[in-house]
Amino acid sequence: MKNNDFAKYLTSFFTEYLACERGASHNTIRSYSNTFVLFLNYMDEMKHVKAENISVGHLKRKTVLDFLNWLQNEKFSKDSTRNQRLAAIHSFSRYMQYEDVIHLEQWQEILSIKIKKTEKRNVVYLSVEGMKLLLSQISGTTKTGRRDLAMIALLYDSGARVQELIDLAPVDLHLVQPYYVTLYGKGKKKRLVPLREQQVKILKEYMEENGLDRLAANQKPLFANNRGGKLTNAGVTYILSRYAANARVANPELMPETISPHCLRHSKAMHLLQAGVNLVYIRDILGHVSIQTTEIYARADSKQKRQALEAAYVDVLPVIEEKSSWEKDSKLREWLKSLGK
């Protein structure tokens, strides 16, 4: 194998296979590229092989396993992160099965590496009161505050993923009845999510103030940073955490210790479920591929489970008569027993 064959195959994997043939999202490509940057760093630090000298022969099952262990032991990656890195290498290996047929066994050995089982995390979400409290912390007296209110309210109202929100442009909003927003989810799948009238009012005022209601601004970022560019995931998280911190001071019982943009997505789903909305509709709003993914909200809602059990309850147990007060008094009971001795 040539020393530069890894670079050649990796380049075609990203530019031809992922981007063109598969139409992978920007997020997927970024995640996969981060994985291989880490792999190059690992080969340099631990195997003393420079990037320009790596060949596909280096990418063997044991090397991949050592790399994954290095991520967890040296970089303190969680199991979920380790599994994401493995998914990227698996994808490359599946591609190489057809590009490098001679070494098919090598690629299949890598594909045999199993993902680690991860502990299912509890769904963190805000109550309706908690959501109201959070939004009440955002001041409408400043231009930045009005942007943040429009953004955080839309993040909740649409149940959007944070990247879906970041990618929005004014053209994606339909602000005449019927109101809705067009979101592009994983795999660039498009879905239309209805918006409430109050949300539309907030958006219209925000867009008018920032000139985003003009036709020329149709393709600009709906929510921009100070330089006019798209906000980042970290940027949205930071903005949200500031208001959450204020809400936590106001009422710590309504605000979790940590909150993320995804928490608002969970909150929207739980509120829809508690309002009696069918899981199928919630699945479509959230853009889940399978109803099984959406079912996590039904499993997490202990109040709804309790109400369902109470509604289906059939009284089959015998009635236990309550003991009289004197029988509960241990001293009196013992004294009465002593009378028969």
Strands 190-194 and 180-184: antiparallel
Question: Which two tokens mark 339?
Answer: 């009378």
Q: How far apart are CA 293 and CA 92, in angstroms?
A: 26
Residues 6+ apart with CB under 8 A from 331: none
Q: How far apart are CA 59 and CA 54, in angstroms?
A: 9
DSSP H/E element including 333: helix 330-338
Query: Can you say whether the dihedral through the CA atoms of 156, 158, 161, 165 is positive or negative?
Result: negative
Q: List beta partners, residue 190.
A: 184
Main-chain dihedrals φ then ψ at residue 190, nearest 5 degrees: -95, 140
Torsion angle in degrees (nearest 10) through CA of 329, 332, 336, 338: 110
Residues labelled catalytic:
161, 186, 262, 265, 288, 297
Beta-carbon count within 10 A of 167 CB: 19
Q: How far apart are CA 235 and CA 226, in angstroms?
A: 11
Question: Which two tokens mark 91?
Answer: 């994808």
Q: How far apart are CA 237 and CA 192, in angstroms?
A: 24
Q: How far apart are CA 108 and CA 100, in angstroms?
A: 12
Q: How far apart are CA 179 and CA 176, in angstroms?
A: 6
Q: How far apart are CA 48 and CA 91, in angstroms?
A: 25
Main-chain dihedrals φ then ψ at residue 88, nearest 5 degrees: -65, -45
